[in-house]
Amino acid sequence: MDGEVLRDDQWERLKPLVPGGRKGRRGPRSDGRRFFDAVLWLARSGARWRDLPEDRFGPYQTIKRRYYRWIEQGIFDKIFEAVAIDPDMEWLSIDATVIRAQAQAAGGRRKRGDRKPRLSAVPAGDLAARSMQ
């Protein structure tokens, strides 16, 4: 299991949900587990497509093309729905941190210079990441 992202039991659960390769079209069937490992490696590392180790996962262009094809075909949605029925709770984490609000948040007096509303721009991709923090 050295270097793999998915455990064997996890892969056995996903295997029936993964479509086979394109036999007879553009070459041999591709390895679904290796593709899944590549996608999970990218998600965990936060790396770019080009940073995928080619010796472990193959050419990044192949992984990237298959990833976007699966999104268009709704394959990831089907996999997520099937897996959500019986989640693996091994790495469950609950955070109940309480942060006290500042006095201004409750309508307290403000400093003179703080009367104007401020606008800030957040890139669309960062919005989801910031809401998870």
Better-scored residue on pLDDT, 90 or 69? 69
Decide: pTM greater than 0.75.
no
Q: Which amino acid is at 81?
A: E
Task: Return phi, psi of residue 33, to 5°.
Answer: -65, -40
Angle 56-59-61 (CA atoms, 0-180°, nearest 5)? 140
Q: What would the 3-class secondary structure string for 75-116 be?
A: HHHHHHHHHHCCCCCCCCCCCCCCCCCCHHHHCCCCCHHHCC
Domain residue extents for the chain: 8-84
Nearest one of 33, 25, 27, 30 to 9, comparing CA atoms: 33
pLDDT single digits (tens) 50-63:
999 999 998 999 99
Average pLDDT taken over every residue of the chain: 75
Better-scored residue on pLDDT, 105 or 77? 77
Q: Report whether pLDDT(1) > 90.
A: no
pLDDT single digits (tens) 37-86:
999 999 888 899 999 999 999 899 999 999 999 999 999 998 888 888 87
Angle 79-43-97 (CA atoms, 0-180°, nearest 5)? 95
Q: Report whether pLDDT(113) > 90.
A: no
